[in-house]
Amino acid sequence: MNFIQTRGIDASRPATVTFSEAILAPIASFGGLYIPENLPELGNEFLVKHLNSSYKVLAKDMLNRFEIDIDSEVIDEALALYDEFDDKNNPVPVVKVKENLYIAELYHGPTRAFKDMALQPFGVVLSSIAQKRDENYLILAATSGDTGPAALETFKNRANVQVACLYPDGGTSDVQRLQMVTEDAKNVKVIGIHGVFDDAQNALKSLLASDEFNAALKAKNISLSAANSVNFGRIIFQIIYHIHSYLELVRQEGITMGEKVYLNVPSGNFGNALGAYYASKMCVPVEKIIISSNENNVLTKLIKTGKYDLRDCEVVGTTAPAMDILKSSNIERILFDMFGPERTRELMQNLEKENFYALNADELTQLQINFDADFCNGHEGKMYIKDTFENDKYLMDPHTATCMKSYETCCDAKIKTIAYSTAEWTKFSPVIANALSGEIDVEDIEALESISKMAQLQIPEVVKGLFSKEVTQNTLVDKEDIQKEILNFI
Ligand SMILES: *Cc1c(COP(=O)(O)O)cnc(C)c1O
């Protein structure tokens, strides 16, 4: 299958590209994104066929229907990484939490957050394309905490790929920082910067635009690529677990085949939610996709009012920091799917120029047929964490907790909900300890131990071991010195 472009085509690129090409250079004409020319129509037949399939068999068949230009052995190697998740037979357990509420746990991979779901297989795919073409790629990542560790984990020691990962010093949790700075593979470089996440992100953007930087890479025969969720190579792996979770509900006799469900997704850059949207178009019977946010609630406003408004709007730091985002990139793919390339280009150019766009009444209606949304502040989030732990014996992280509010405000109680848990409690333990017992200002290690006692849960070895692992990545620089550090590295 070929890939087309959300903002139509300019003269700078071919009208369609292959999957490999869309992965290697994910930015399309007019600054748009790549999307599949048409989504495979899988239908009820596909669900019935895979009712008793393993995750990998389901995944392989779905990927085959996309007819992507990746060798079958490479796909097998990529999917085999799900065998390393906690339960080899089921990388995404779905747990019944309340009468009509099920939680699909996306965090059972090596870095304990949902980024592994897509980045684990993506690393194999990208590296294999680079090897096949005999090209070398540098992946630049700016992280507020979860993408960095997951990107390092997937690309470490892979051929033809190097990673430089920027994080704001002091802006991540201890666990997240240790996951990065204890990484000792030769092909990865971790750079702490004095500043906040936006500084890291802006530094990355100016590097991408820097002639000097690009010339230096070219001289070394290295091309740049991106591992964030504008890359369709990540999105494609994020459709699978929505189909899997639906089938799990049927298997657990929570629903009968064909019954509609809500999919409730804690959202930031909208990759996870986009996967849900594609899954619903391809085969999963969905009542609505519910978009859950924290105080950075631009998506709630978009879905409630049709206005994407960033004027006088600044990112605020929250207890669910992986969702502290204002420009949610994958909304663009929804705009394209609903309104086509001309309108998408118009809206996105408005956003870039005026920090604002407004859908018309018909467009808003169409958006609301598919989506509903609400946001949850940090205080409410902690109440939901405590309440769900005490009443339902289920421990959740602050990102997942945002779904509890929208579950109450957006959902018809007769219809079952699948909410997605995007991080393990171990990644955000100080907030959770505070929610459960009021402890304040505790370090990660103390919080981990106290929650472990309270909830009778083991701290996984991959997390516990971090605190005694040698720190090998000591680079800490000012913004101005990032370019020099990266050039030294490559
Ligand atoms: C990345 C992330 C999200 C947001 O997911 P998107 O696909 O960007 O919407 C939510 N929760 C956690 C824990 C994350 O790491």
What is the DSSP secondary structure assignment for residue 66, as one 8-state letter?
Answer: T
Q: Model confidence at 195, in pLDDT bands (50, 70, 90)?
A: confident
**Residue 373: both structure tokens together:** 């949304």
Per residue in 303-332, pLDDT (tens digit) is: 999 999 999 889 899 999 999 989 899 999
Q: Which of 106, 107, 231, 269 to mutate to test the pocket of ligand 1 (most atoms within 8 A of CB)?
A: 269
470 φ, ψ to 5°? -70, 135
Whether 92 is covered by a domain: the verdict is: yes
Question: CA–CA distance from 52 to each of 79, 219, 258, 286 (Å)?
Answer: 18, 52, 16, 20
Tally of CB atoms within 10 A around 461: 8
Nearest-angstrom CA–CA distance, 266 and 246: 17
Whether 397 is covered by a domain: the verdict is: yes
Residue 170 predicted with pLDDT over 90: no
Q: 144 alpha carbon to ligand 1 midpoint, in Å?
A: 11
For residues 472 and 179, the answer to whether their CB atoms sit within 8 Å is no
For every residue of 196-227, DSSP letters joined together read -HHHHHHHHHHHHH-HHHHHHHHHTTEEEEE-
- From the list 139, 231, 197, 214, the residue with the least C-alpha distance to 315 is 197
In the prediction, which pLDDT does 225 show?
87
Report the SS3 class of residue 260: coil
In the prediction, which pLDDT does 245 show?
98
**Residue 424: both structure tokens together:** 């393990």
Residues 74-90: what's their mean pLDDT? 97
In the prediction, which pLDDT does 426 show?
97
Residue 254 predicted with pLDDT over 90: yes
Per residue in 357-408, pLDDT (tens digit) is: 999 999 999 999 999 999 999 999 999 999 999 999 999 999 999 999 999 9
Residue 65 predicted with pLDDT over 90: yes
Nearest-angstrom CA–CA distance, 93 and 107: 10
Residue closest via CA to ligand 1's atom 4 equals: 268
**Residue 279: both structure tokens together:** 């899954």
Q: Which domain holds residue 363?
A: 78-112+233-460
Q: 331 alpha carbon to ligand 1 midpoint, in Å?
A: 14
Nearest-angstrom CA–CA distance, 430 and 434: 6
Q: Which of 323, 327, 331 to mutate to test the pocket of ligand 1 (most atoms within 8 A of CB)?
A: 323
In the prediction, which pLDDT does 144 show?
81
Burial of 235: CB neighbours in 10 Å, binned 0-12, 13-18, 19+: buried
Higher pLDDT, 228 or 71: 71
Q: Model confidence at 454, in pLDDT bands (50, 70, 90)?
A: very high
**Residue 117: both structure tokens together:** 């779901």
In the prediction, which pLDDT does 268 show?
93
63 φ, ψ to 5°? -65, -40
Q: 434 alpha carbon to ligand 1 midpoint, in Å?
A: 22
Whether 203 is covered by a domain: the verdict is: no
Q: What is the largest CA-CA distance in the chain?
A: 62
Q: 14 alpha carbon to ligand 1 midpoint, in Å?
A: 32
Per residue in 98-111, pLDDT (tens digit) is: 999 999 999 999 99
Whether 469 is covered by a domain: the verdict is: no
Mean residue pLDDT of the chain comes to: 95
211 φ, ψ to 5°? -65, -40
Residue closest via CA to ligand 1's atom 11 equals: 422
**Residue 95: both structure tokens together:** 């747990």
Residues 143-152: what's their mean pLDDT? 91
Overall residue count recorded for the chain in this entry:
490
Residue closest via CA to ligand 1's atom 2 equals: 322
Residue 459 predicted with pLDDT over 90: yes
In the prediction, which pLDDT does 264 show?
98
Nearest-angstrom CA–CA distance, 138 and 132: 16
Whether 241 is covered by a domain: the verdict is: yes
Per residue in 216-227, pLDDT (tens digit) is: 999 999 999 888
Per residue in 23-46, pLDDT (tens digit) is: 998 889 999 999 999 999 999 999
Whether 162 is covered by a domain: the verdict is: no
Residues 467-472: what's their mean pLDDT? 96
Q: 232 alpha carbon to ligand 1 midpoint, in Å?
A: 16
Distant-in-sequence, close-in-space partners of 419: CB < 8 Å, separation ≥ 6: 101, 102, 103, 104, 264, 265, 292, 400, 403, 404, 407
For residues 450 and 437, the answer to whether their CB atoms sit within 8 Å is yes
Q: 181 alpha carbon to ligand 1 midpoint, in Å?
A: 21
If one counts the domains in the chain, the total is: 1
Task: For residue 264, give the CATH number of its domain.
Answer: 3.40.50.1100
Whether 408 is covered by a domain: the verdict is: yes
What is the DSSP secondary structure assignment for residue 27, as one 8-state letter?
Answer: B
Per residue in 232-253, pLDDT (tens digit) is: 999 999 999 999 999 999 999 9
CA 174 to chain centre: 20
Residues 228-233: what's their mean pLDDT? 89
Whether 388 is covered by a domain: the verdict is: yes
288 φ, ψ to 5°? -155, 155
Q: 422 alpha carbon to ligand 1 midpoint, in Å?
A: 6
Residue closest via CA to ligand 1's atom 14 equals: 322
Q: 322 alpha carbon to ligand 1 midpoint, in Å?
A: 5
Which residues surround ligand 1 with Cβ inside 6 Å?
A: 113-115, 146, 229, 266-273, 322-323, 399, 422-423
- From the list 359, 284, 396, the residue with the least C-alpha distance to 47 is 284
Per residue in 347-356, pLDDT (tens digit) is: 999 999 999 9
Percent of the chain with pLDDT over 90: 88
Higher pLDDT, 257 or 228: 257
